[in-house]
A and B are shown apart, each in its own frame.
Chain A
């Protein structure tokens, strides 16, 4: 026990005198998390959360235009712009401005659009009336011209954005067509039977959509945002970056001969290694919780969402511990395998950057090609991140993290075994 405690104290003294190492362990992740969360905030935001200026060219001046305008404004996502410098927006202006990227979107409602919908509704009502033996009295246009509401997108607009707008406008068109159809049916049935049509309308709205929580607890509908991704992801990255101080520390000990002296002293070298490991695992866990505090308290000060932790505090500690063990063991392996600090530090840093990129730290794994997703699932950083997401986003508990925690522990043991074999080989 004395050897273990003495080693922990020694590592503590070495760390607090290594200002560069301290900055690497605590300042670097703080900066990384803040910068990445700010940078990725906009791309991470759902389009539902963003507000766009929408140019509208209303050549219809009817109900359809009103419906579309009201619908878009009601959604809260759009600010409608129908005049520029006091003049109504023309189609030419709109196309030019959207093409230049000044506006993301323009909606052009063609002349006669409302009339076309009304005529179509009347035609349906007349047809139904005929089949029911009633007179077909609603006026219809002689020709059934096909009219389109035109949408112009900024050429740089993303596919997901386009499809969200398409879907929203489709909904408005369907809604107005349904409303007008019901209104025409009401007219056909005359006012005394209007209640029947109302019942029909109510029935039409009777079946809706309601999102349900999938996790075991009935908590919040968690939104996967920049903070929710970046804080755990870059915390794990920083925890694995402990490979740099550990490997550097081990190689320095080998180079300056202190390792030699430690090996010449009776007693198990494993106890010294355990002390080193225990110290750096503790540092990793402290890193994890400090970064969590950054997510909870600092991010909102920067007008970013607050990090939500879920309810599984003990499983979160366990997974932080497992990540720390794997990260520390990786540092010990790198420190054992390489002979010079330059080799170890370069390899350690580059390997962590690559593993983090593959493992979904930079961008979520879901947006990567399938082959990369498959590789990503093999990285320890992804195991840690997945487990954290299981706890924070999916409201999971021990059963949900046991697989990834197990993988991290097995990897830790495998790396320590390999390091021990290499070290033993050196003596023989």
Chain B
């Protein structure tokens, strides 16, 4: 269960708040989407959930644990995060990167090696494990970025735009994996994206946020049905967030 209650956050020096009383909740074991235009507060919300940023007020809970100094380490153990950035060392190979991050999780030896090899194979990277990451294509980097978040078997996987800038094949592989991973291991997935079509096909439940507030929440099909004039989730999204370009 991911619960966010009345979150407020204004960054030092910012004129506008990033979050203005944001609240939503997703049940455990589901693939949930957090959608919104640029500057809506998606990354800030994820950062608060991960403990990277402190909220000015409000409450964020993951599996009934409040995100505070007391529970921060416990929450980190339960979650795997795929940041928007390719959070890898470009000069190291995929194998070296994954071994390093595995070691940081306390994993080592043959079990870690086997796990890495399995994931590399699953993501079609088995022949490129020893190649430096800076030589990878965008899709290969994204896939390696995801593997790094899976090594410690998290209960919740948070992905911040995991398919940004990748080709159709890589995107398809990533989305297919996420579905399988959710179904086979019962892992909860929280996912953000600008690609509404992708969100509609992947997510069982979505929350649309704008200007730091929740606009609407529900299953994609339900949301579309609630708006007879809209044919898909993207039109619902535009209906609520407007056509004005965001910075």
Contact = CB atoms under 8 A, between A and B. Distances in A.
B198 interface: no
A182 B81 CA distance: 99
A262 interface: yes
B157 interface: no
A257 interface: yes
Interface stretch (A6-14, A203-211, A342-350): A6-14
Contacts of B90: 256
A265 B101 contact: yes
Considering residues B77, B87, B106, which has the most beta carbons from chain A within 10 angstroms of its beta carbon? B87
A266 B53 contact: no
Interface residues on B, range: 20 to 34
B92 A265 contact: no
A5 B84 CA distance: 28
Considering residues A6, A10, A18, A265, which has the most beta carbons from chain B within 10 angstroms of its beta carbon? A265
B243 interface: no
A270 interface: no
A267 B85 contact: no
B103 A261 contact: no
A273 to B, nearest CB: 13
Nearest to A18: B91
Contacts of A17: 91-92, 132
Considering residues A7, A10, A267, which has the most beta carbons from chain B within 10 angstroms of its beta carbon? A10
Contact of B88 (A18, A256, A267): A256
B54 interface: yes
A6 to B, nearest CB: 3
Interface residues of chain A: helix, strand, loop or mixed (majority): helix
Interface string B162-182: 000000000000000000000
Contacts of B88: 256-258, 261
Given A2-B103, A3-B104, A427-B54, A14 B76 contact: no
Contacts of A428: 54
A421 interface: no
Given A6-B100, A17-B91, A18-B91, A256 B76 contact: no
Contacts of B106: 2-3, 267
A260 interface: yes
Interface in A229-267: 253, 256-258, 260-267
A272 B87 contact: no
B148 interface: yes
Interface string B70-107: 00011011010101111111111000100111011110
Contacts of B108: 2
Interface of A: 2-3, 5-7, 9-10, 13-14, 17-18, 253, 256-258, 260-267, 272, 427-428
* Cβ-closest 7 pairs across A and B: A257-B85, A257-B87, A6-B103, A261-B87, A266-B76, A265-B104, A17-B91
Interface of B: 50, 52-54, 73-74, 76-77, 79, 81, 83-92, 96, 99-101, 103-106, 108, 132, 148
Given A3-B106, A427-B54, 20 more contacts: A3-B103, A5-B103, A10-B92, A10-B100, A17-B92, A17-B132, A18-B91, A253-B89, A256-B85, A256-B87, A256-B88, A257-B84, A258-B88, A260-B83, A261-B81, A263-B52, A264-B50, A266-B105, A267-B104, A272-B104
